[in-house]
C-alpha cells in the first residue's frame, strides 16, 4: 500500500469511530464523490490497511465483567512448544489478545471472563500448554480503552 494521503486518513478516522457509516456519509464528510470514496475503501481493504469491520460490545453487559491480563513464562523455547502454545490459546474462549514479548516475560494475554470460576476454567485450559510460570492481574477499573489508532 502506498503512503496514506490526508483523505485516506480522514476516512480511516471516521471508520474507526463508526464502521457502520455508509459510503455516501463517508464521501460527504470527506468531500469526495461516492464512487471515489468506494474506490479508496476498496484499495484500503485490499492493501490490508482495513483488516475488518466489527461491532464492539460492552463486555460487562454481555456477562463478561472480569478482564484479566495474564503473563506467562516458559522454559521451553523451541518450535514444537511454540506451535502447541499457539494451538492452545487459539482454542481458549475468552482469550482476546496474545503477544510474544522480549524481556523477562515471554507472553502477555488479555482475556475476558464472567467471574473467578470462569477464569479458573480458562486457566485450566492454558496450563495444557505446559507453562513454567503463570501470573494474573485482574482489572479493577477500566480508565481508558480504545481501538482508535492515532492517524
Q: Are 68 and 119 in contact (CB under 8 A)?
A: yes
User: Is the CA virtual torsion 71, 77, 83, 84 positive or negative?
Assistant: negative
pTM: 0.88
Q: What is the pLDDT, as a whole number, of residue 1?
A: 64
CATH architecture assignment, domain 60-138 = 2-Layer Sandwich (3.30)
- Please state, rounded to an integer, the average pLDDT across all residues of the chain: 95
pLDDT band of 11, cuts 50, 70, 90:
very high
State how far the Cα of 80 lies from the Cα of 130, in Å rounded to an integer. 12
CATH code, 6-46: 1.10.10.10
Q: What is the pLDDT, as a whole number, of residue 129?
A: 83
Q: Which residues lie closer than 8 Å to 140 by C-beta, 6 or more apart?
A: none
Nearest to 97 by CA among 62, 68, 133: 68
> What is the domain partition of the chain in residue ranges?
6-46, 60-138
Q: Kindly compute the dihedral angle of the four CA atoms of residues 95, 47, 54, 34, in this order, to the nearest 10 degrees.
A: 170
Question: What digits encode the pLDDT tens for the residues 40-74?
Answer: 999 999 999 999 999 999 999 999 999 999 999 99
Amino acid at each position: 500500500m502506498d503512503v496514506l494521503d490526508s483523505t485516506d486518513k480522514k476516512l480511516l478516522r471516521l471508520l474507526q469511530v463508526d464502521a457502520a457509516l455508509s459510503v455516501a456519509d463517508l464521501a460527504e464528510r470527506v468531500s469526495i464523490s461516492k464512487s471515489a470514496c468506494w474506490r479508496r475503501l476498496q484499495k484500503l481493504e485490499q492493501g490490508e490497511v482495513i483488516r475488518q469491520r466489527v461491532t464492539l460490545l460492552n463486555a460487562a453487559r454481555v456477562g463478561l465483567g472480569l478482564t484479566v491480563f495474564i503473563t506467562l513464562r516458559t522454559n521451553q523455547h523451541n518450535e514444537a512448544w511454540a506451535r502447541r502454545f499457539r494451538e492452545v490459546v487459539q482454542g481458549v474462549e475468552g482469550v482476546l489478545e496474545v503477544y510474544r514479548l522480549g524481556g523477562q516475560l515471554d507472553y502477555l494475554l488479555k482475556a475476558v471472563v464472567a467471574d473467578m470460576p470462569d477464569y479458573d476454567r480458562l486457566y485450566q485450559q492454558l496450563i495444557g500448554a505446559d507453562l513454567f510460570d503463570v501470573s494474573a492481574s485482574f482489572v479493577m477499573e477500566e480508565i481508558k480503552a480504545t481501538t482508535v489508532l492515532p492517524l
